[in-house]
Structure 1
């Protein structure tokens, strides 16, 4: 019995020692990561950091956090003069079991704010939390993320706002190098009058967007791990396996691949199917994409395409990215985005 008690006591001392050593290493690692990010020209700060949960958990709390990147992701380390997108959070809580510190739960209480050069976007929610996992390797490679938010309110200083019943974001590492599966879904998205006036000026569609869904693969120039400060991963290709917008009777489905082309411009093609396309034609006219004098010509052309699909309410068109431009079928839409 004495030997057993001695073994238990030795184990307890070792375990307690491990916890305090690991806590110190965690606090030092976070402080160093923020310091290194600032040295590379990024916004990275917090007001206070604490770790509790002894002896079986690491409960880390950071107060008044700000993280940001130059909007030009290819900018050099002297990017402090570049326009930046900065995320502000009143508090970030990271919770992990002390024997599985690479498996974390993140809780984001309070209002989140994204500061852009032309506006500030505030996000409040009933609940916003995520499971965040790292691989058990020396590089601390990203493994998976699952974030969910309930009853989200989004407000911009630019005048627009929206509410969501629920938003979900998920990502996980795939076997291919620096490749990740990414999924997003927004349910019952309700734009405020200002945003609805931009999206649907004539109010041809319902007030609520039923679903926005995306499932695809993202390939980067380098993996997401503890070396991201040096490797600075850049998007190389995006494959949409299932992208859908359900808005009343109108449905848009897109699949295809876009790749990083010359100058970082997107190149490739998405195959787009539009069901109940007629309201979108009126929206294109209201937004100035189609001149009113040519509306009848466009309607006849799209009706001919719909007859070819076998359904009068359905058209299939290629969304082509090339030469720095985007076109939907034979309709030019504007400049192509940069990766």
Structure 2
């Protein structure tokens, strides 16, 4: 019996020592990382680790992350990151309500019921990404420029696709989006509801390198984006897309995305409400879209392709300008 007691005490001492060593390394590592950033990039009022004996609970208070070159700053009252002591490769992060995003022309405040993320890495020396899942509930964005945007729930994920190298499955679902009231008022003449029911994306991304602990050196870039399904459901307006874009020799996107829009006649008023076109141009846009719909054989459904080719991008017969850059060929 006495031997068993000594074994228990020794195991407890070893485990406690492991926790203290681990927590000290986490705390000093985070402080060192903050201190190593260029002046004005990252700051925090305190870094603390609690949770003895079974968890590492990291709290970084009053954190501010800035990009002075772009004039963007993000601040949060705190960030909390949790990990079980016996499974440090699986961490959970949480944000409180009250983030502030400062842009060159406005300041956006983010309030929420909850924002959480779960990160699972492979337990190996490379610490490669296994799965990343983020979820948010009761989110509202309010800008001092006068607009608001909210949604009930959002779920985003990125998971390793083990069947292909450097490939990750991407998912997104946002439910019950409340557009800015000014936009809703501008659309009062349409039959669109005040809430966008859902935005859904199912896609694959193929990168130039794996997402792991060496990503800062290998700098993974996008090689291909395969959209299996993308949808926006807003009352009678139904939007869907699928297709593939790949990075060409110059790093610009090549490929095509097939778009299908049911209830497309509601698009011109939306474009006007968003300030993308002027009201007097809306009838012309509607006539052009009607011609495209007629070519598809169904006047109620608009089927059109977004094509990226030879450095340019066109939507059906309409040129949109240069194709988006997917990969920086300079390697910087």
Q: State the TM bucket, normalised to the shorter chain.
A: 0.7 to 0.9
| Structure 1 residues 332 and 193: CA distance shift in structure 2, 3 A | farther
What CA RMSD, in Å, does the superposition of the two structures yield over aligned residues? 2.7
The 5 A counterparts of 1:324-335 are 324-335=311-322
Q: Conserved in 2, the CA contact under 8 Å of 1:266 and 1:337?
A: yes
1:271-326 CA distance string (max 9 Å, x none): 1111121212454577438945745742541342242xxx4422321111234443
Q: Does residue 304 of structure 1 match 2:294?
A: yes
Q: Conserved in 2, the CA contact under 8 Å of 1:93 and 1:106?
A: yes
The 5 A counterparts of 1:190-339 are 190-196=178-184, 203=190, 205-261=192-248, 264-284=251-271, 287-288=276-277, 291=281, 294-295=284-285, 297-307=287-297, 311-339=298-326
Structure 2 counterpart of 1:178, from 163, 166, 169: 166
Deviates more, 1:136-145 or 1:93-102: 136-145
The 5 A counterparts of 1:84-123 are 85-123=72-110
Partner of 1:144: 131
1:221-267 CA distance string (max 9 Å, x none): 33222223333332232211111000111111101112234664333
Structure 1 residue 215, shift from structure 2 partner: 1.3
Instruction: Give ranges in structure 1 of 5+ residues lacking alignment.
Output: 70-79
Deviates more, 1:93-102 or 1:150-159: 150-159
Deviates more, 1:96-105 or 1:285-294: 285-294
Structure 1 residue 86, shift from structure 2 partner: 3.7
Partner of 2:2: 2
Partner of 2:64: 66
Aligned length: 322
1:179-200 CA distance string (max 9 Å, x none): 22111111111111345578x5
Structure 1 residue 136, shift from structure 2 partner: 0.6
For the residue of structure 1 that corresponds to 2:32, the secondary structure is helix
- Please report the TM-score for the alignment, with normalisation by the length of structure 1: 0.84
1:11-41 CA distance string (max 9 Å, x none): 11111111101111111222233344x15x8
1:133-159 CA distance string (max 9 Å, x none): 222111222221221111110122333
Structure 1 residue 206, shift from structure 2 partner: 2.3
Q: Does residue 24 of structure 1 match 2:24?
A: yes
Instruction: Give ranges in structure 2 of 5+ residues lacking alignment.
Output: 327-332
